[in-house]
Amino acid sequence: MTTQTAPSASAPSTAVASTGTAVTTAAPTRSSGAVGTSHTRLEGRAKVTGAARYAGEVPFAELAYGWLVTSTVARGRIRSIDTEPVLAMPGVISVLHHENAPRLRPGVGMMGPDATLQILQDDRVPHFGWSVALVVAETPEQARAGAEALSVTYDEEPHDVVFSGDHPGLYTPDGGIRGNTDMENGDVEAELAASPVVVDQRYTTPEEYHSAMEPHAAVVRWENGRLEAIDSNQGSHAVAQDLAKLFFLDATSVRVRSEHVGGAFGSKGLMRPHLILAAMAATVLDRPVRVVLTRRQMFSLVGLRPATAQRVRLGAAPDGRLRALDHEAASFSSTVHEYTEQSGQPSRVMYAAGALRTRTRVVRLDTPTPSFMRAPGWAPGSFALESAMDELAERVGLDPIELRLRNEPGVAPASGLPFSSRNLVACFEEGARRFGWADRDPRPGSRRDGRWLVGTGVAAAAHAAGTVPSSASLTAEADGAFTVRIAAADIGTGARTALAQIAADALAVPVKTVRVKIADSDFGHAFLAGGSLGTASWAWAITEAAAALRERLTLVDHIPGEGITARADTTDLVKAMKGQERHAFGAQFAEVAVDVTSGEVRVRRMFGIFAVGRVVNPLTARSQLVGGMTMGLSMALHEEGIRDTASGGLVNADLAGYHVASNADVPVIEVDWVDDPDTYNPTGIKGLGEVGIVGTAAAIANAVRHATGVRHRDLPIRLDRVLAAGTAIENGGAAR
């Protein structure tokens, strides 16, 4: 996320300036001190000068251009595709469709068999915007003209794209990585029945779209018997593996590179249709082919965060201590593949409840297949849970921070495992002090500033921060430099720079002597830039390789021309890790102003303070956290994919209609972190790409409640919703 957060003219004034430089992490650095020091992005100059090439810009010789044609019905079968007139158009080389496209191996998918990858394989149309043909031409303009002229007719079938929490088709998913994680400790119903105070509320979040700046793009060619792709993705190794499987190739016959990626947020974690189509066309035509998705196509082909309908029930003693926590979450998936949004996740981690239950339901609709979007499960789940906790605080007359402190768990509530570290209390204490929480008048609707009602809100944040196997190599070059090779991805996070700092410290050399080569599947397996798993996992592999290299270097008196290389693979180390729960934590604070006449909500300031382990690069870490919070603000107030029930497509499949927070929406966001030593993974690093979005929407909704006396349980908090709900003033001071 690279959102600008400079104060803008139209944003109300902000009291807090952004620091971004405070580093209080206490974990030991290995040596030369690069880790923990701010460092600008190594590729920054290349990016701002345009020298950095993204996948859609790589100039292969003899390149042909593919333009995708997508379905205009939400369900049915393709009756006919009239290719003749299009093939006669200037420059058009080929039209690929289900009757002539190469056959793909079924059952392929990074997270289990995913039929979403089976494009141009049959005449079935499972949703509006599904891939139905690729027009290939000598220029992009000719391909586009051909695609627009292609006549496709359908036998339409009735569709259902309307999600609700009481849809009759909801069922319990039956397993798998993204499947059923239902759990119950204790007897939730009995504890709820016995609780003197019960909060029982429903919350909804809409369809949300990743909206990365760089569209999905790939250039593919056959080169010396290998299928070679430059693709915009989050994990070149995993994508190469899937591409090989899909095309019945050896893993060694496929190479995927993704040197620069302009944002992803989860949408580039899996292989996407543009790459499959480019590989199909390159194979059929024996010629390099480029496919770039349009913004509109990104709204139907690269995943989305599904809408959720959640019910949270909290049973508490009068002192606020939880006796029961029940979190039910429903979401939708496509008819093609089961993806489940795990919104119960925060409830399994956050609070000590006597009895705890999380349940997940999913319904299959005639929509695109959803997928991971920044903090999947955690982001929508935290909106429901952290709103409900705010409601409980009011019910028992406790400060919302005090309520959370009273319910701090000793061990992870669902699993019973110890936390590797948990410094959430420190986040709240330091955050309250820095934000000025003590000065807050808890009465809703009590603060007015002209036509604005002003309020503040708080919420907790957490995100899993695990470690997964990766491999890396390190070469001592004859010229005195060192080269890291790892199939990591830098999707705009600063990962490349962080890894250079890690390697520099592990080798006890200056950062400028380290070159980092990333995002090439030939470098061996490494986990994708996702799940807040990347940096911690990659850094471990690099430090292991560095240790091995340093040992080798003690045995030689000179470095040969080809250098000396050491490799490391952390697979066995990761397997041997002890059973602990590991999470990044945080406290989110927001101040909002609500215009009582227009219903407009402005966020005036936000402060997020996090426990994220050892911070490698304060500059880019801060950017990740600010970006996450910005995306959370956007989720709270703006983002909403609106499905047209008639066509089954999105009404607002562009960045004019799908509003992502822009500069004028975003005040100065202050971010800091507390000491969070953590030795679970020897690098001490916790991922922080996702925790920033968690809890932000709840903090804002809680602030809107404090400002207006009205609780908003449906996101986004649009002005029409604010107007319709009224305010405490219009409602005679009565809080609802």
Residues annotated catalytic, as ranges: 690
Least distance CB 294 / ligand MOS (angstroms): 22
- Nearest to 532, CA basis, from 461, 619, 467: 467
Name the residue among 585, 232, 264 with its Cα closest to residue 427.
Answer: 585
CB distance 274 to 292 below 8 Å:
yes
| Spatial distance between the Cα atoms of 154 and 144, rounded to a whole number of angstroms | 21
Instruction: Retrieve residue 5's tokens.
Output: 């957060």
Find the shortest distance in angstroms from Cβ 269 to ligand MOS. 4
Q: Which amino acid is at 219?
A: V
Spatial distance between the Cα atoms of 341 and 25, rounded to a whole number of angstroms: 33
The CB-of-2 to ligand MOS minimum distance in angstroms stands at: 16
Q: Which is nearer to ligand MOS, 209 or 372 (CB)?
A: 372
CB nearer to ligand MOS: give 71 or 493.
493
Q: Does 306 bind ligand MOS (CB under 6 A)?
A: no
Q: Distance (Å, rounded) from C-alpha 430 to C-alpha 443?
A: 23
Report the nearest approach of ligand MOS to the CB of residue 544 (Å): 24
- In the bound complex, what is the minimum distance in angstroms from residue 340's beta carbon to ligand MOS? 14
Q: How far is the CB of 251 from ligand MOS (least distance, A)?
A: 22
Q: Which of 247, 372, 428, 658 binds ligand MOS (CB under 6 A)?
A: 372
Mask for 524-543, x = binds ligand MOS (CB under 6 A): ------xx------------
Among 169-177, 368-376, 389-397, 435-443, the segment contacting ligand MOS (CB under 6 A): 368-376
Query: Least distance to ligand MOS from the beta carbon of 608, Å?
Result: 18
- Closer by beta carbon to ligand MOS, 143 or else 264: 264
User: What mask of x and - would describe binding to ligand MOS in positions 590 to 629, judged by CB under 6 A?
Assistant: ----------------------------------------
Rounded CA separation 153/124 (Å)? 12
For position 373 contacting ligand MOS by CB under 6 A, the verdict is yes
**289-292 and 452-464 as β-strands: parallel, antiparallel, unpaired?**
unpaired
- Is 146 or 376 the residue whose CB approaches ligand MOS more closely? 376
Residues between 237 and 266 that touch ligand MOS (CB under 6 A): 266
Min separation Cβ 5 and ligand MOS, Å:
21
CB of 511 or CB of 691, closer to ligand MOS? 691
Q: How many residues sit close enough to ligand MOS to count as binding (CB under 6 A)?
A: 10
Q: How far apart are CA 470 and CA 637, in angstroms?
A: 38
Q: Which of 140, 370, 376, 627 binds ligand MOS (CB under 6 A)?
A: 376
Question: Which distant-in-sequence residues (6+ apart) come within 8 Å of 656 by Cβ?
Answer: none
Closest distance to ligand MOS from the beta carbon of 491 (Å): 9
Q: Which of 56, 146, 215, 269 binds ligand MOS (CB under 6 A)?
A: 269
- Residue of 298, 338, 372 lying closest to 131 (CA atoms): 298
Query: Among 374, 614, 643, 718, which residue sits at the site for ligand MOS (rule: CB under 6 A)?
Result: 374
Q: Which is nearer to ligand MOS, 372 or 658 (CB)?
A: 372
Applying CB under 6 A, the span of 85-93, 240-248, 366-374, 419-427 interacting with ligand MOS comes to 366-374
**Residues of 84-102 as b/e, b for ≥16 C-beta within 10 angstroms?**
eebeeeebbbbbbbbeebb
User: 599 with 723: CB under 8 angstroms?
Assistant: yes
Q: Which two tokens stand for residue 341?
A: 């949004």
Nearer to ligand MOS, 74 or 688 (CB): 688
What does DSSP say about strands 92-97 and 131-137: parallel, antiparallel, or unpaired?
antiparallel
Q: Judged by CB under 6 A, which stretch of 49-57, 216-224, 373-381, 704-712 contacts ligand MOS?
A: 373-381
Choose one: 241-249, 372-380, 423-431, 540-548; the region binding ligand MOS (CB under 6 A). Answer: 372-380
Give me the 549-588 binding string for ligand MOS, x by CB under 6 A, dash otherwise.
Answer: ----------------------------------------
Beta-strand ranges (E) seen in 189-321 are 197-205, 217-223, 226-231, 254-257, 289-292, 308-316
Q: How far apart are the first and last CA of the chain?
A: 36
Asked whether the bond before 716 is cis by omega within 30 degrees of 0, the reply is yes
CB of 266 to ligand MOS, least distance (A): 3
Determine the interface stretch with ligand MOS among 249-257, 370-378, 588-596, 654-662 (rule: CB under 6 A): 370-378
Q: How far is CA 224 from the centre of its chain?
A: 36
List Cα–Cα distances, 379 to 308, 702, 730, in angstroms.
Answer: 11, 15, 32
Query: Which is it for the CA torsion 99, 101, 107, 112, positive or negative?
Result: negative
Closer of 494 and 531 to ligand MOS (Cβ): 531
CA separation, residue 93 to residues 66, 136, 138, 249, 284 (Å): 10, 5, 7, 25, 11
Q: Indicate which single residue of 206, 690, 695, 702 sits in contact with ligand MOS (rule: CB under 6 A).
A: 690
Q: Which is nearer to ligand MOS, 332 or 372 (CB)?
A: 372
Nearest approach in angstroms of CB 528 to ligand MOS is 7
Q: Which of 111/719 has CB closer to ligand MOS?
A: 111
Q: Which residue has the tokens 């007897």?
A: 187
Q: Taking Cα atoms as reference points, which of 344, 346, 363, 305 lies closest to residue 173?
A: 363
Please list, in sequence order, all residues whose beta carbon lies within 8 angstroms of the beta carbon of residue 57, skipping any fewer than 6 positions away. none
Residues 6+ apart with CB under 8 A from 429: none
Using CB under 6 A, pick the residue from 232, 233, 234, 620 that binds ligand MOS: 234
Listed residue (232, 436, 462, 468) closest to 348, CA to CA: 462
In the complex with ligand MOS, which residue's Cβ is closer, 267 or 708? Answer: 267
Determine the Cα–Cα distance for residues 710 and 690; give it in Å rounded to an integer: 29
Pick the closest to residue 431 from 590, 640, 221 (CA basis): 590
What is the C-alpha separation between 651 and 642, in angstroms, rounded?
6
Q: Stretches 218-226, 275-283, 371-379, 611-619: which one binds ligand MOS (CB under 6 A)? A: 371-379
Select 366 or 690, whichever has its Cβ closest to ligand MOS. Answer: 690
CB of 586 to ligand MOS, least distance (A): 16
Per CB under 6 A, residues contacting ligand MOS are 234, 266, 269, 372-374, 376, 530-531, 690
